[in-house]
Structure 1
């Protein structure tokens, strides 16, 4: 997936607990233009629920998510 999508910014929120990965992602998205893609890396299992709900509520598109060895990766396209 990461090769198929051009990522405009990447945020490493590894080691941060809920709600910090989401808060940092919101701040990063605020800096980006509409349509830009943000890749987020997190290690908090609660981030899955948070990012799904956030994308829906804020109107952003969760392009893809993956979990590998306890590391969660999200690709969000800004609304």
Structure 2
């Protein structure tokens, strides 16, 4: 994980499949303040493209990083508005 940001909150969507990781990520982001970083833990490999695509098309969020560790995927999303 990069040292350029600090995780504010962690959302565990392990065991959830499309579209729930994105739906729950959006819900969690809506409750954060500007500049907060949400760490999303997922087991759905599709979450890599789903969360990336969602972040690219959504105002007020920035995808900072995505990591893959075996069957676990970590996504780091910062609120920008």
Q: CA RMSD in A?
A: 1.0
More helix by share: 1
Cα deviations across residues 43-69 of structure 1 (Å, max 9, x unaligned)? Answer: 001111111111110132111100001
Structure 1: where are the runs of 5+ without partners? none
TM-score, normalised to structure 1, is: 0.92
- Where do residues 12-51 of structure 1 align in structure 2 (5 Å cutoff)? 12-51=12-51
SS at match of 1:16: coil
User: In the aligned structure 2, how far is the partner of 1:56 from the partner of 1:30?
Assistant: 16
Structure 2: where are the runs of 5+ without partners? none
- Paired positions, count: 78
